[in-house]
Structure 1
């Protein structure tokens, strides 16, 4: 293996220095069934994905164990860095490892008659920002040496057969279901990670592992000495190890970060007829205390765009600027016919702003005024499209967090498009350390999840709440809790909230539809649906659980008979209404 020199890696938000070394040898065996690899990208990819060290040990009793080890290392280092940069480390790695495990298992069973098992151990270390992420299965190991103390971070997945012999209980390719250990931990400057296969750590004591790993500043030489010592100690297995040292962590101050984020100045106050960076300002579309939207024309291409500019109220607010910059970055990565595309220009900017496609149409709040009695089938069509737009955010571990009628445009062809990124939460970006408290937008009072405003992030269930509230309003022109959400500031006030049945305002709404909306907006998030697909299923097809009226049945024989008869009537009415109003 070639030496891996100490390198300076420039993160989007900081500078980190890592030193890495690795070595693999067949030892006393005829062939080497171990495999290892280390990769670090540069620039933004390092900020979003981190650097990765991977070590695998092919199971000697499986004829294709070495092949499996090589495949694991190569595919992980290739596919992990190709996953969306919005994803968290955990989601990216789990997706890749699951796919690798499935293929290894399939290959093993293709050659079942010849016992060509594609089975290996695997240990992965990903260092992103100030966090180490560990993924592990089998009996290869990851150690941490910190403050001259050696700590084993992984657990061997083995079953003891007798005093001398053991076998693997879990490994890559062994089963269709991948059960892999995951650990994340904050790292410190000076931390040294040791990854090894059993040919090394089974032959050396913990004291020797620590001593040899710290023997010199040249960690590649230390890797060589670890293998040599294991060989001299009588190891009969393949020998492989890696050392990854954290030489320097982010030391960027808030002032330095501010200098970096404010390289581009805020645009001046823009008016119709002004020009900026080759764009003609044609019309102001929207203005608030946080941002402005303008319709602009590219003077080179004659193309119409929407330009979003930051509010000058926040010129000194670093957290606000970071969020504004992130809007463009996130928007350019969300791909859906129901989410506005962000345009990345091919010329340099002189000011802070970003461009979106200009969507012909009207905002949903205006559309509802212009369409006081829309056909239910049309409303359901729009709701389905909004749901698809939200799902495109969720597929990239991104929450919208501020879905409301003014953030949705209805095109002339009656299709819906989500047009705002101002409150998004990106799990993968949230993993990156910055020396400030990130800007936290709470959404719009009557549409955002009230639990979120009290400090609890309810994930996709928060966006589901917003979608249900908008659906309710489209059918009733009212809000599901009236104006009560505006005054909710404590958990006690939340508990007193009462959902207003939608059929009180619009009698054609079937009970099953209304109860699906109610479930989507339960104050206790655990009582809501687990996915938007489940919610849409119950909004488009009657759920048997929702065909019984919500009123409590009276405990008298006549009342009981009455409600039994009414349940039958409701069932028939619901089916008729579904056919007449929803599916036409």
Structure 2
């Protein structure tokens, strides 16, 4: 079958400015499967010059979109994939702009993306960078300038990526033909080369690189006072068959039947069943092509008519592909067609942390325990960097490997910040997570975001250092309402392990505080207080010691006056 064939060129430079706040990115996969099912991706972004972090914002936006678009599930449409990515990227930039830890403020950028897939061009646009389509000598601007004009000399940008908590992008699509050309450019090009000249350049210079270089040079000749960026794409050939209905086709993939050792599925031979429940099944399989072993996760046939379950299962794969960390299980990008709904993960030769802890002497040595905590924390940070929250962190979802390293597994409860449901009450049949490790806010139907993962991490840390005990004891499992949780009282870890200092115990207590205003806001803050004494906690320790002996001050004062009296009597006797 005829494949999509493109030729292209891109360029960006600072122009007459001291730094280049523009960024461009292109991703045309060599892999036939990716090119067919995901297409080719092109992005131009122009960091807002009045924002201090415009350069970082534009670079982040183009790199993240081009890389992560290819990691979205095959079953997602181009539009749905782009919407999810733009929401998460916008959320990251917006949070950075409003973070007290950032010295720079204003992570804002324009954004124009083009995805060419099968016989269709899809575009997504925010701001005043531009997208043009050229066909048989006629040039048309597809993007709309999100600017407000006050006068001929004064105008301002009305929309940018990272400007608001929710992103509102222009979306569109057109059918493409062989011979079509596309131009993506920043306003350093479009403001200094009018449309008639752009049309002339695209009509006369067929080679993509020569055309791109000519536009950059012409804008500079025309005294452009801005950064210069352009991408020129020539459509050489298009597929014979359209894949517009791909999303519907793939989401209708049948659920695999229960698999037994020796059975084969799309070139993977089942070795054994690793796990089976009413919601999913895990199998150890071997690739018949190279013999490599993987874990194959299948949905349960109990939910084959549940659209929300199917969507959540598909999203698991996407989340796993986005999270790249040595402390998180790796989801494998598949490059062969699937006849059933499933996804692959790396095979981890180890046991879950809960099983491993049962065989260890308790409590663990502090050096060993803190090493484990730091690895879990790094895994969680990988989720948080991508705007994701694990929401079901527990020892059973952490694999302990033979070399002493850890990996977080299970993406079934993960939610992604920036999506509509992330900070709204959870709407599902059962509460997320396990009672003793999950933030009570989750269990009461409210999403506490990153702070929920901090609660789970602090609880696991408490368990490791105390020798298997929990911050609120077993009573937490009987809690059902907010009133039940209000009755809970923190149990000092030092009563189970006397070597735990007060400052360390206070860090644990803050990490599992039921009041979100008191709980840590970041994993970094929790780790810092676990590894070195927080002066505030030391001050509290001194105050507690003073409070523990309220007569100490008066005893010292009385002693001082008694000694003074003896001295006066002695002096009186000497003078006599």
Q: The TM-score by the shorter chain falls in which range?
A: 0.5 to 0.7
Query: What is the CA distance between 1:302 and its match in structure 2?
Result: 1.8
Matched, 1:501 2:492: yes
| CA contact 1:133–1:182 (8 Å) conserved in 2 | no
For 1:461, what is the secondary structure of its paired residue? helix
Gaps of 5+ in 1: 1-35, 60-68, 99-104, 106-120, 138-151, 159-163, 172-177, 191-196, 198-219, 221-237, 239-255, 564-584
How far does residue 489 in structure 1 lie from its aligned partner after superposition? 3.1
Secondary structure of 2:386 counterpart: coil
Q: Which residue of 1 aligns with 2:233?
A: none
Q: Report the equivalent of 2:370.
A: 380
Tell me which residue corresponds to 2:405: 415
Residue of structure 1 in register with 2:357 after alignment: 368
Deviation at 1:136, TM superposition (A): 9.2
- 1:49-95 Cα deviation digits (max 9, x unpaired): 99999899999xxxxxxxxx9x9999798557436455624246669
Correspondence 1:290 to 2:268: no
Asked if structure 2 preserves the Cα contact closer than 8 Å seen for 1:258 and 1:318, the reply is: no
Q: Structure 1's 72 and 453: CA in aligned 2 closer, same or farther, altered over 3 A? A: closer
Cα distance change, pair 562–357 in 1 and its aligned pair in 2 (3 A): farther
Q: How far off is 1:187 after superposition? A: 8.9
Does residue 278 of the first structure (1) align with residue 272 of the second (2)? no
**Is the Cα contact below 8 Å between 2:269 and 2:288 reproduced in 1?**
yes
Aligned equivalent of 1:443: 433
TM-score for both structures, normalised by structure 2: 0.58
What SS does the corresponding residue of 2:488 show, helix, strand or coil? coil
Task: Name the stretch that deviates more: 487-496 or 530-539.
Answer: 487-496
Of 526, 532, 535, 2:526 maps to 535
Question: What are the superposed Cα offsets for residues 182-240 of structure 1, whole Å, 9 maximum, x if unpaired?
Answer: 374779999xxxxxx9xxxxxxxxxxxxxxxxxxxxxx9xxxxxxxxxxxxxxxxx9xx
Q: Distance in 1 between matches of 2:253 and 2:345?
A: 19
**Aligned counterparts of 2:40 and 2:450: Cα–Cα separation in 1:** 23
Out of 47, 63, 66, the position equivalent to 1:82 is 66
Preserved contact between residue 494 and residue 502 of structure 2 (Cα < 8 Å): yes
What is the CA–CA distance in structure 1 between the aligned matches of 2:333 and 2:110, rounded to whole Å? 39
Q: Mean Cα displacement is larger for which, 89-98 or 42-51?
A: 42-51
* Unpaired runs of at least 5, structure 2: 1-21, 29-33, 70-84, 99-104, 116-123, 130-144, 173-186, 188-198, 200-223, 225-244, 557-576
Listed as ranges, the matches of 1:160-239 within 5 Å are 181-182=163-164, 184=166
Aligned 8 A contact 1:400 1:421 in 2: yes
Aligned to 1:558: 551
Task: Work out whether 1:474 is the aligned partner of 2:456.
Answer: no
CA 1:277–1:478 in structure 2 vs 1: closer, same or farther (change >3 Å)?
Answer: same
* Cα distance, 1:493 vs structure 2: 2.4
- Quote the Cα distance in structure 2 between the aligned partners of 1:490 and 1:554: 35
- For residues 450-494 of structure 1, the C-alpha deviation after alignment (integer angstroms, 9 at most, x for no partner) is 112223222211111111111111222122112233233333222
Aligned-partner SS, 2:322: coil
**What does residue 310 of structure 1 align with?**
299
1:518-569 deviation line (CA, Å, top 9, x unaligned): 1111111121112111111111112222234496854864256899xxxxxx
**TM alignment of 1:89-108, pairs within 5 A:** 89-91=89-91
For 1:343-362, what aligned pairs fall within 5 Å after superposition?
343-362=332-351
Q: Distance in 2 between matches of 1:515 and 1:72?
A: 37
8 Å contact from structure 2 (residues 284, 295) kept in 1: yes
* Equivalent pair of 2:293/2:346 in contact (CA under 8 Å): yes
Which residue number corresponds to residue 299 of structure 1? 288
Query: What is the total number of aligned residue pairs between the two structures?
Result: 418
> Secondary structure in 1 aligned to 2:271?
strand
1:263 matches 2:263: no
Q: What TM-score do the two structures reach when normalised by structure 1?
A: 0.57
Change (3 A) 1:410 1:554: same
For 2:57 and 2:384, the matched residues in 1 are separated by 29
Aligned to 2:482: 491
1:390 aligns with 2:383: no
**1:512 aligned residue:** 503
Q: Is the 8 A contact 2:161 2:167 kept in 1?
A: no
CA–CA distance in 2 between the matches of 1:540 and 1:37? 39
How far apart are 1:299 and its partner, in Å?
2.7
Question: 2:68, 2:127 → 1: CA distance?
Answer: 19
Tell me how far 1:391 sits from its aligned partner: 0.6
Secondary structure, aligned partner of 1:328:
helix
* CA–CA distance in structure 1, aligned partners of residues 507 and 427 of structure 2: 37
What is the deviation of 1:294?
Answer: 1.9
- Rounded to whole Å, the distance in 2 between the matches of 1:335 and 1:535 is 23
